[in-house]
Structure 1
Amino acid sequence: MARLLNLSAEDSLIAGRLIRNFSWVFSSQAVSGLISIGTLAIMAQSLGPAGLGLFAIFQAYVRIVDRLLRLEPWQAVIKYGVEALSDNDNDRFMRLLKASVYVNLAGSTLAAGVAALAAQVTAGMMGWPQDSSAYLALFSLALLFNLKPTAVAVLRIFDRFDVLAKVDVGIALMRLVLSAGIWAMGYGLWGFVLVAVIEGLANSLLPFVFSLRYVRERGYGTFMQLPIKGIRSENPGILRFLWNSNFNVIIRQTVQRLDVILLSVLVDEKFVGYFHIARRVADSALKLGRPLNQAIFPELARKWSSGEERGFHKLVNGVLLAIAGLCLTVLIPAAFLMPSLLSFVFGAGFDGAASMVNVQLLAVILLLATMVLNPAMLSMGRDRELLWVTLLGSVVFLACFVPLVRVLGPVGAAAAHVLFNGTLVAGALFVLYWSRRQRDVRRTS
């Protein structure tokens, strides 16, 4: 096979590792995606469009606060951790892990506290139902003790994608079972918010517990006892990288999650419920491509740090082509069946969400491309350019959201995501290939 594809021994090794990691993550994302659709169907049947819309509003509020106040250091840990391990500098790697744990705990505590304290003021300002502040305060507990980013970095560096896969599926199954129990007992919105809190805490802690085992197996069990003094000098540019990589995600995800909040002001909760269905179905489709992104980032970081620019770009182009093929074979056919699928899974009251779902799927196709281009730019050290591209996309999204909703109705919210993701793809491709062209010019001059 390696000869047929003209792969070197090293490329064959990388391809095998990518396929193995991809298969684990893909299978877990596919299974957990199906389970999540089942959970969403239970919620839809229990709460109806308006109740589901309120749940979406509460969830969006908590996630926005979390995203604004919590930094995720996993990208920095992968980038600098790979370099430290390549140099056989174990102490440097362990200090990175300890600093990551501190960043996780500080950010999650701050986010949970602010979300709970601001709940009543926010609910009153937005004109949400009277008891919304209590729901928001309870939902905020899900933000505590979020150590998953450190666990993600550790397990991906050590190629233990199987552990993350099994944990994700287990948590999805737990939420499905709990949601079915809440539906059977008729606890309504309060019950589903409590289930979301339990899921959030499990998702925050369980991966970290499992990652500690593999840290100890490799002799890093005492990393919390090491001082973190000198981490900046050992990892030049780490604070800039941490900030830029997170600020890029903060802007992108916050702007995208504002859609539910803005829509709640412009339309009834029923249409917010429709849009929540569209976003969740699109997110499930997104899980088909997310494994590629998760598996490829460590490989891109390794190739770029070793100076293999040609192999780096070959890998990026190959994954983009794979994503295009995946979208053509899976997402586009599903769009034609969407009205009947929604009616069958969620009930006749949700068939009106079909147009929103189809437009949101188009946005997902574009977002899948950015999920490969973003780690490519970060591996190249182009975090500043990535930040500017995200800012441009955010301006386009915010400027167009309200006009599109007023002209197109609730479907305009999904159309705004198409513009946002399209801007990100165009900007990232421009920076990526412009940078390559500039290096080629410098070599020939």
Structure 2
Amino acid sequence: MSENRLFRWFSSEDSLVRVFRNSSWLFSAKGVGAVLSIFYLAILTRTLGVAGFGEFMVIVGAIQVLAAVLKLQTWQAVVQFGVPYLLAGQQLAFRKLSAQSFWIELTGGLVACAALWLMLPYGADQFGWSEPVEQAILGYGVIVFLSVRSTPTGILRAQDRFGGNAFGDAIIPIIRFAGSLALFLTLPSMTGFLIVWGLSEFVSFLVMWLMVWRRHEQNHPLRSTTTRPAVSPGLKEFAAFLLFTNLVFLISVIRERLVVVIVGFFVGPAAAGLFRLADQIANSLNRLAEVFARPLFSELSRLFAIGQSRKSRALFWRSLKVSALSGGVLFLCLLLFGENIISLISGPEYLAAFPLLLLLGAATIISLAGLGLEPLLQAAGRARNALLVRLAGLIALGLLMAFLLPNFGTIGAAWAMLISAVVTSIILLVSSRAVISKPRQPVPKLHRP
């Protein structure tokens, strides 16, 4: 009986089962990352102290914001336009799309390297970084910018190969844990941690491309289901989708990283350390949301590509129920065990982060409850709608931060995150009504070779 259930799990073509099956691969990687991140986060916070940890997170956050601004994320474009090629058996067209995405991502990384080289001296003067720290920041930034990881992520997800994607993601926390442990046993320093963080990004980059090339000439899980050739996206359509999805990604990175940088700049490194610790724990919930949302986007793209609008709508409602229930359980766990988690990881001197954790956790869980809305809009070809919603949420966050941060400090910043999350979710739900009630059908076009 159990063998039959296991067989049905791996062979079922039910949309939600496919999403959960692909999520299980990513969850295995995120599960490894969640466990190991507890250990290396404990090493970071206990060895660097509240202020040192805050300064380290300001550096990492600034690099990631710069990467989001200049280095384009291509994985969603590869999935959106590549899945129809794979369904039609057009492997050559899919490879051309992948190559195009690679060069786009690499070019953005080179531009980001130049920007970092120009901006770093000003940052060093502002924060008083020593020359070794400045060199470590430059090395870490160059590795992050030149590690082309988004394109292979899109290739693997378009081909329904989430196992390879999970393996590449799992490498990052493994190396960070091993490197942090080695530093803890020898001589921990901010420079050393930056080197370890850069090494983790570089090895993950190598592993992701190895997983792509390993089955380059083999048949892929998505086989041809139609004899009709897929429609090649025009340059304008491709560029518009890439622009809108990257602006949405940039907004999410700004919410997650730039707020910490702002808190560190206006309140101080110690406040940034407390805020980032709470945000790091709360964002572990966000990582669980991504585990479900990314396979959901791939599955919705597949359903839209084959014209199954009714199935896509049913899949959205089923996923919404699952995510809402999960969000409630997660917040209850934070309320009951949040203080114990903070004390266990970082020590009693970080317990001031508990109120921040509740507010930031609630903000994340509110976003989790509607995580299917944004993938639904993007898969339906309405990436512009998703961008406008995120932009409205970012404007709300900026206005709230401008009022609450100077008057209430870090707790004000946390309230700003929560209120903006509520505003964003409401606007996202309203803007998605047309797609939820009647998803747009693909418009047939003549194929031109």
Q: TM-score w.r.t. structure 1 length? A: 0.88
Are positions 1:397 and 2:393 aligned together? no
Tell me the alpha carbon deviations over residues 222-267 of structure 1, each in whole angstroms, 9 at most, x when there is no partner: xxxxxxxx9754x771111111111222233234422112112221
Q: Secondary structure at the match of 2:288?
A: coil
CA contact (8 A) 2:313 2:439 kept: no
Tell me the alpha carbon deviations over residues 159-181 of structure 1, each in whole angstroms, 9 at most, x when there is no partner: 22112222322331221011011
Which residue of 1 is the match for residue 175 of structure 2? 174
Post-superposition offset of 1:435? 4.1
Distance 1:33 1:102, change over 3 A: same
Alignment of 1:70-89 (within 5 A): 70-89=71-90
Tell me the alpha carbon deviations over residues 346-377 of structure 1, each in whole angstroms, 9 at most, x when there is no partner: 11211111111111101111232454221110
CA contact (8 A) 1:112 1:143 kept: no
**For this pair of structures, how many residues does the alignment match?**
420
Letter in 2 for 1:136: I
Which residue of 1 is the match for residue 55 of structure 2? 54
Q: Secondary structure at the match of 2:147?
A: coil
Q: Secondary structure at the match of 2:217?
A: helix
Are positions 1:155 and 2:161 aligned together? no
CA contact (8 A) 2:327 2:369 kept: no
Which residue of 2 is the match for residue 227 of structure 1? none
Alignment of 1:189-204 (within 5 A): 189-204=190-205
CA contact (8 A) 2:277 2:353 kept: yes
What is the distance in 2 between the residues matched to 1:426 and 1:15? 24
CA contact (8 A) 2:64 2:253 kept: no
Which residue of 2 is the match for residue 44 of structure 1? 45
What is the distance in 2 between the residues matched to 1:238 and 1:153? 15
Are positions 1:241 and 2:244 aligned together? no
Which residue of 2 is the match for residue 426 of structure 1? 426
Are positions 1:185 and 2:186 aligned together? yes
Structure 1: gaps (5+ residues): 2-9, 220-229, 441-445
Distance 1:12 1:96, change over 3 A: closer
Distance 1:347 1:78, change over 3 A: same
CA contact (8 A) 1:179 1:195 kept: yes
Distance 1:107 1:303, change over 3 A: same
Post-superposition offset of 1:184? 1.4
What is the distance in 2 between the residues matched to 1:318 and 1:402? 38
User: RMSD over aligned Cα, in angstroms?
Assistant: 2.4
Tell me the alpha carbon deviations over residues 135-155 of structure 1, each in whole angstroms, 9 at most, x when there is no partner: 532331232432211111111
Post-superposition offset of 1:207? 0.9
What is the distance in 2 between the residues matched to 1:182 and 1:91? 46
Post-superposition offset of 1:15? 3.6
Which residue of 2 is the match for residue 29 of structure 1? 30
Post-superposition offset of 1:134? 4.0
What is the distance in 2 between the residues matched to 1:435 and 1:295? 19
Post-superposition offset of 1:21? 1.1
CA contact (8 A) 2:136 2:195 kept: no
Alignment of 1:204-283 (within 5 A): 204-218=205-219, 233=234, 237-283=237-283
CA contact (8 A) 1:370 1:424 kept: no
Which residue of 2 is the match for residue 6 of structure 1? none
Post-superposition offset of 1:133? 4.0
Percent identity between the two aligned chains: 24
What is the distance in 1 between the residues matched to 2:288 and 2:256? 20
Tell me the alpha carbon deviations over residues 85-105 of structure 1, each in whole angstroms, 9 at most, x when there is no partner: 223322221110110111121
What is the distance in 2 between the residues matched to 1:165 and 1:336? 31
Which residue of 2 is the match for residue 129 of structure 1? 128
What is the distance in 2 between the residues matched to 1:56 and 1:300? 35
Distance 1:439 1:241, change over 3 A: closer
Q: TM-score w.r.t. structure 2 length? A: 0.87
Q: Secondary structure at the match of 1:287?
A: helix
Which residue of 2 is the match for residue 222 of structure 1? none
